[in-house]
């Protein structure tokens, strides 16, 4: 979350839910997964998430509302709701990667039009993963929410669409320096702020690994080596609790949301 504010919900969206910190745990079709979202030291939680199974796939998503623009909890909730609706309609018989691109473009268009109609500039990040029964993952990302895959011998995560990531890729600063950079939260892409958006799409394999989705309230404060050790050494529910505790221990004041899934 990046700030505070308030704006009305668009017509057709449900009333706000109360913020609850706790772990939700499920096992479906061979995958065990858990979710935890924590408000941190903010007044409200502007993160949103989805975790569930539909049309023979698992769908996981984490969105982080840009609250400094206008109440971000609305934009993040719109993102995960539209994603779930699109997946439920389009996943059967269609390529998951193409479905993700369509969903992200629709989310962007809906929030952008809502902003124009109401003279607002709400926005959100979103990272979403579709996992089939073989363990293949299609991952779509806008902004700096992340999807990771960890195995005992490797680590992978999505690319942050941020100003600081550009500095890392150009060799100006190191990844360790990026965590301390004063502009680390400056995004180069977000949903809802312009008519067009660049969606990063990755296709990766989960088989033998652990899937983690997180908002930046975790990975902006906890080193990747620590995150990796936590998710590989624990069941999903214990991993979620320890990840949130680690964010708090690292003095994160932001909302933090994590989804951990493993076979």
pLDDT by residue for the chain (263 residues), tens digit each? 443 333 334 444 433 333 334 678 877 767 999 999 999 988 889 999 999 999 899 999 999 999 665 668 899 999 999 999 999 999 988 999 999 999 999 999 999 999 999 888 899 999 999 999 999 999 999 999 999 999 999 999 999 998 888 788 888 888 878 877 878 788 999 999 999 999 999 999 998 899 999 999 999 999 999 999 999 999 999 999 999 999 999 988 899 999 999 98
Contact partners, residue 28, CB within 8 Å, separation at least 6: 53, 58
Q: How far apart are CA 96 and CA 237, in angstroms?
A: 27
| pLDDT number for residue 137 | 97
**Six-digit token pair at 68?**
């400094």
Say if CB 139 and CB 129 are below 8 A apart: yes
What is the reported pLDDT for 166? Answer: 79
pLDDT of 5: 32
Strand 210-214 and strand 200-205: the pairing is unpaired
Q: Nearest Cα to 183, choosing from 147, 224, 141, 220?
A: 220
Residue 257 contacts residue 47 (beta carbons within 8 Å): yes
- H helical segments located in 144-222: 163-169, 175-178, 216-219
The residues, any chain, with a CB within 8 Å of residue 163's CB and separated by 6 or more, are 183, 186, 187, 188
Place of tokens 């998710």: 231
Location of structure tokens 């100003």: 163
pLDDT for 22: 64
Q: Nearest-CA neighbor of 37 among 8, 81, 1?
A: 1
Q: What's the CATH code, domain 23-262? A: 3.60.40.10
Please, how many CA atoms are within 13 Å of residue 185, restricted to the half-sphere of its CB? 17
Pinpoint the alpha helices (H) of 43-195.
72-90, 96-118, 163-169, 175-178
Query: Considering the entire predicted model, what is its pTM?
Result: 0.88
Tokens of 225: 């080596």
| pLDDT number for residue 69 | 55
Q: Give yes or no for a contact between 6 and 52, defined as CB atoms under 8 angstroms apart.
A: no
Q: How far, in Å, are 11, 42, 77, 112, 128 from residue 16 at the CA level?
A: 13, 16, 9, 21, 22
pLDDT of residue 179: 77
Q: What is the pLDDT of residue 97?
A: 98
Domain-wise residue ranges, the chain: 23-262
């Amino acid at each position: 979350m990046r700030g505070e504010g308030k704006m009305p919900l668009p017509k057709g969206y449900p009333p706000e839910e109360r913020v609850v910190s706790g772990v939700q745990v499920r096992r479906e079709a061979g995958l065990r997964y858990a979710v935890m979202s924590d408000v941190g030291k903010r007044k409200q939680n502007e993160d949103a998430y989805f975790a569930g199974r539909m049309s023979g796939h698992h769908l996981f998503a984490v969105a982080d509302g840009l609250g400094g623009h206008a109440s971000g909890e609305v934009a993040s909730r719109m993102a995960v709701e539209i994603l779930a609706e699109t997946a439920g309609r389009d996943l059967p018989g269609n390529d998951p990667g193409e479905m993700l691109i369509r969903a992200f473009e629709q989310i962007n268009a809906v929030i952008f039009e809502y902003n124009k109609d109401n003279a607002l500039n709400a926005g959100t990040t979103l990272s979403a993963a579709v996992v089939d029964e073989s363990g293949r993952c299609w991952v779509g990302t806008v902004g700096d929410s992340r999807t990771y895959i960890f195995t005992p011998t490797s680590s992978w995560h999505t690319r942050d669409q941020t100003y600081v990531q550009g500095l890392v890729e150009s060799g100006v600063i190191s990844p360790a320096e990026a965590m301390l950079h004063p502009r680390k939260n400056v995004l180069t892409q977000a949903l809802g702020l312009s008519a067009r958006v660049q969606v990063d799409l990755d296709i990766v394999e989960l088989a033998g690994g652990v899937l983690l989705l997180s908002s930046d309230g975790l990975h902006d404060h906890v080193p990747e080596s620590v995150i990796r050790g936590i998710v590989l050494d624990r069941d999903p529910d214990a991993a979620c609790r320890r990840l949130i505790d680690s964010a708090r221990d690292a003095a994160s004041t932001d909302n933090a949301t994590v989804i951990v899934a493993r076979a």
